[in-house]
Amino acid sequence: MRILAEIDPQKWERVQELLRQGRYESAAQFIGVALENQLLLETRQSVESLSASFQSRGSQTDLPSRESSTEMPMGRLKQLDRDIAPAETRVWALYNRIFPVKVTVRVLSSMLEKEQDESVELRSLKEEAAIWAKSVGRQLASSDKQGKKSRMERLATGLPIRRADKSSERFKDMFVGSLSKKGEGYGFPVLLKFITLDREDNGVVRAHLTPPGYEFAMLRSPVLDNRDSKPEATLSAEESQFYLGHIKEYLPREWELSRRIMKAISDGDKTPSSIDKLLLAVDPTLKDTEVGPERAGIISRLSELGCVRRIQNGLHVEYELASGAIQISEE
């Protein structure tokens, strides 16, 4: 369908500038994103809770910024006990990216700051985080396409860039979280102890930000803060080091697997089959059908952290260490 519309010349020039910067492939894409974002806003069940800084959805420069945030009082953060996760706790293979968690905790931090509260309704957090994730994801997808990045190199992986509702729902479940009827929390940010969830007497589930979650949220992001239309990575070196230190303390199985995989690669065991053997040696409870996805998930996370590179020559795949792996592999 074609529709004629009058556009303010100054606003059109701003659109043209975004196109020149490569933020969008065409004016039609820009208009399509703007329409979809506005429709999402109009169908929200709790539009009143939107913060003033969340009114524009078309550009990543409008994401909640660390520069515009004030330090959050510790009383509004959910304090953690020192109990670490059980040694057998696994990171689900489909939690194959860390940056989507960054989007969630940054949005949660902004919502808490705006509402001056200790928690927000989980349903609202899911909607807000999904909106921002889709906006950022589409810009990263455009950059991936222009850079002709391979599937393993794509920065938009894990973000809901497709039009289908299922893409957003998967993001909400995996990279925001949910709470079972028994009160058990699920989702990567929950597993990382970056956020905690609880249910009020009226049945409403609320999300809290923890001190490590807040610290990770406020670290400078090459995507969210540097305003680079073509970032080289989704995580900064500082974010990667923080994450590695955090899993060492709170997810010992993930830390140990990461350390041993990089040590194996350093020793020359560079193929997927050799990493599969290592995984089975470390965790004999893994089923045959779980080994491949387990390896793919942890290699994907290590790649995003700047620790491992995937080298493909035709059908042959090998792994090699990247600069970020040196510290952890030598410990």
Residue 251: is its pLDDT beyond 70?
A: yes
CATH of domain 251-329: 1.10.10.10
- Cα 97 to chain centroid distance, Å, stands at 6
Q: In this predicted structure, what is the pLDDT of residue 231?
A: 78
Kind and range of the H or E element at 63? none
Q: In this predicted structure, what is the pLDDT of residue 78?
A: 73
Q: In this predicted structure, what is the pLDDT of residue 47?
A: 28
Name the architecture of domain 89-240.
Orthogonal Bundle (1.10)
Question: Of the given ranges (64-78, 151-165, 194-208, 291-305), which has the lowest mean pLDDT?
Answer: 64-78
CB 122 within 8 Å of CB 200: no
Q: In this predicted structure, what is the pLDDT of residue 55?
A: 35
**Structure token digits, residue 215:** 């610290």
SS3 at position 207: strand
Would you say how long the chain is, in residues?
A: 331
Name the residue ranges covered by the structural domains of the chain. Answer: 89-240, 251-329
Give the residue from 171, 255, 242 showing the smallest Cα distance to 212.
Answer: 242
Q: How far apart are CA 213 and CA 244, in angstroms?
A: 14
CB 192 within 8 Å of CB 101: yes
pLDDT digits (tens, 9 = 90+) for 64-92: 555 555 566 565 677 776 555 666 788 99
Within 10 A of 117 (CB to CB), how many other CB atoms are there? 12
Q: In this predicted structure, what is the pLDDT of residue 304?
A: 94
Q: What are phi and psi of 204, to 5 degrees?
A: -75, 130
Q: How far apart are CA 69 and CA 11, in angstroms?
A: 28
User: What Rg value do the Cα atoms of the chain yield, rounded?
Assistant: 21
DSSP codes, 281-329: HH-TT--HHHHHHHHHHHHHHHHHTTSEEEEEETTEEEEEE-GGGHHHH
270-273 contacts at long range (C-beta below 8 A, 24 or more positions apart): 270/318, 270/319, 270/320, 271/317, 271/318, 271/319, 272/317, 272/319
pLDDT digits (tens, 9 = 90+) for 214-226: 999 999 999 888 7
Average pLDDT along the chain? 80
Fold: same for 89-240 and 251-329:
yes
Kind and range of the H or E element at 185? strand 185-186
Kind and range of the H or E element at 209? strand 205-209
* Maximum alpha-carbon separation in the chain: 66
Phi-psi domain of 310 (left: phi exceeds 0; alpha: psi -120 through 50; beta: other):
beta
**Structure token digits, residue 49:** 């809770």
